[in-house]
Structure 1
Amino acid sequence: MAEGSEPHPDPTRRPHLGMHAGELDGKWYAKYWSPVMAPLPEHIKEAIGLGPQAPPLCLSPDNAGTLSDVGYQELENGYSLFDDGSMHVATLTCMPRVSPAMVDWWFWWHATEAQRYKLWYPRAHLYAEWSAGATDQSAPYRDRYIGGTSFVDEYVGSALGKLAVRFVHPGRLGFTDDSLDPDAATAICATVGLSRVPLDWGHLVHHVRRVKGGAEIRSRFWMGGKYVAPRAGASLTGELETVAEGLRHLGDGHARAMVVHCSQEMNHLAAFLPDIFDEFRRSE
């Protein structure tokens, strides 16, 4: 997909939560479907209980590349709300036996079928459709999703979002190639917009680095407020301006729901990613 072009999801899609009878028939990965999810980690419960944190503690998108630095930042778990209506969300997830390369593989592999997307978060993911990205199946995993768009339908809390997640090169957010050796680290970077209308409303980074026994993924989201912008030459007039205004002030409830959503989906992924990746590699 060319920069600035307007992707189009399938308008006939009929997403549903969970798996219907027969939906996984013939899928080699069917055994990895598990609707039973682990409890929310204690450090996430504590972060939510603290409420919104002081904005100066938050990482800005302009400094996202500092996630490659050694150590941790002041806000690794929790959220903050800004005067312009935007929010910042941060979560850290430990992923035993996982490598950065496995996460790069997942962000390419999961997006091509709704059933694969549902494996990730059975309680919230409904649908996924892939547009563009690399077609060369021999390319490095990271190169297979950069430049592509994943159209997804998912719940964040009780709110249903129909989203377009456009993956960009990590260099766009300040990461250097030297800091992202696939054996040691990766950074999945994307612009998040709506799939049905040409409107973006945020950015995300999932920075993954090796630690003893596996990896940890440090996720960051910047949503709403000043991040709401028209896409593909659209103008903020009429109905589009009305939609934009609704996204500019997301509020405390949405921020809390984002913390929970990200933590639950990444912890659930960590439970099966090493095994599904190994099985995929053996079949290549």
Structure 2
Amino acid sequence: MKLQLTSVLILTPSVLAQVASGPPSGEHYSPIPLNTLSENSTSVNAVPYQANASLYYLGYKGDDWTRPFSKYWNPLMKPITDEVQKGMTESPYASRLAYTPQEAAGYLTRSGNSHEYGQWHVEKSTMSWRSADRTLVTGEMYDWWFGWHLADPQRYKLWHPVAHQYAWRYPNVADWGNKTLPQRYIGSHSFINEFIGNFASKLTVNFVEPESIGFNTSAFASQGIEAMVVGHITNEHVTNVTGNSYLMHQIRRKDDGSRELRSRFFLEQFTEDQGHQLGVHCALEMSHLATFLPKLYAEFKDTV
């Protein structure tokens, strides 16, 4: 036990240094403004693609602090809610409660689903979380975020400051002129690297049309659905995503006028430990996003 404790004490200063809440003492970085849509509607990745995962890092350092949005960087995240903790404790639920990605539209277009908080079903590989209830995040903000954050790893890191290490969008250049907010990200591939639990992995998220998985978007308004983000996911960084693993994030307006943020993951293979780790990761990042996205959107909604 003493050896394990010593190891933790040695590692802790290094970890804390990577997720510092501001530039090193005595150093100042002047913000470099972003291009606005009126100046240039072309979105380009902030940095070249980096395949070497050993060069990815947590937090901000050096010129990262010149990003004008760095003031929204906050590694002090709130703990998961009691509801999520209860869901994690009760899981896993009966495998017959699970459903496939192709069946998800029948569940996510209605209210009152059971087990909204934290579950995983090994048989059909379904995991679900209601990450934020009565959120101030609107569907417009959410769709904007999924286009805007893809092109800069430092934007991606705002979302989960102590787990997200890297993000790069394929294609490198995207024309946002006359595009709706969902059109800014649908069809793109997000090459990411993040910690889920104790281990970091390269992942690809290929954002697809909700219709491709069975949703009727023309009915969204009557169903209270303000945003529906669907991603086809796989390991490593690739432009040809196959298999039947998906993520889905939704902003839904409830009958009382408030909004909820719901997430679903469908993974072809995972262990119960991984299900727990992904549940904690999702609950933390989505609740954290809700703490700063309204102000971030108000300030940067017209930038590329």
Q: TM-score range by the shorter chain?
A: 0.7 to 0.9
Corresponding position: 1:180 with 2:225: no
Could you tell me which residue of structure 1 aligns to residue 266 of structure 2? 222
Corresponding position: 1:126 with 2:165: yes
Residue type at the aligned position of 1:192: I
Residue type at the aligned position of 2:251: V
Change in Cα spacing, 1:58 to 1:28, as seen in structure 2 (3 Å) is: same
Could you tell me which residue of structure 1 aligns to residue 73 of structure 2? 33
What's the CA shift for 1:59? 3.4
Could you tell me which residue of structure 2 aligns to residue 205 of structure 1? 248
CA contact (8 A) 2:156 2:167 kept: yes
Q: What SS does the aligned partner of 1:22 have?
A: helix
Distance 1:213 1:115 in 2: 33
What per-residue deviation string (whole Å, max 9, x for no partner) do you get for residues 16-55 of structure 1? 0111243121x22111110100011110100111120112
CA contact (8 A) 1:111 1:128 kept: yes
Distance 1:252 1:206 in 2: 21
Could you tell me which residue of structure 1 aligns to residue 143 of structure 2? 104
Distance 2:210 2:287 in 1: 23
What per-residue deviation string (whole Å, max 9, x for no partner) do you get for residues 166-210 of structure 1? 000000121112133499522100111123466656111112112
Q: Which moved more, 1:87-96 or 1:166-175?
A: 87-96
- Counterparts of residues 1-284 of structure 1 (less than 5 Å): 10-12=50-52, 14-25=55-66, 27-83=67-123, 87-92=125-130, 93-94=132-133, 96-132=135-171, 134-181=174-221, 184-196=225-237, 200=242, 202-211=245-254, 212=256, 214-224=258-268, 248=269, 250-281=270-301
Q: What SS does the aligned partner of 1:72 have?
A: coil
Q: What SS does the aligned partner of 2:284 have?
A: helix
Could you tell me which residue of structure 2 aligns to residue 229 of structure 1? none
CA contact (8 A) 1:68 1:175 kept: no
Mark the structure with the bigger radius of gyration.
Answer: 2
Q: Report sequence identity in percent.
A: 30
Q: What SS does the aligned partner of 2:219 have?
A: helix
CA contact (8 A) 1:24 1:115 kept: no
Residue type at the aligned position of 2:69: Y
What's the CA shift for 1:75? 2.6
Change in Cα spacing, 1:220 to 1:189, as seen in structure 2 (3 Å) is: same
Q: Which moved more, 1:118-127 or 1:172-181?
A: 172-181
Flag structure 1 segments of 5+ consecutive residues without an equivalent: 1-7, 225-247
CA contact (8 A) 2:149 2:156 kept: yes
Q: What SS does the aligned partner of 2:93 have?
A: coil
Residue type at the aligned position of 2:259: A
What's the CA shift for 1:126? 0.3
Change in Cα spacing, 1:282 to 1:107, as seen in structure 2 (3 Å) is: closer
When normalised by structure 2's length, the TM-score is 0.75
What's the CA shift for 1:213? 6.3
Could you tell me which residue of structure 2 aligns to residue 233 of structure 1? none
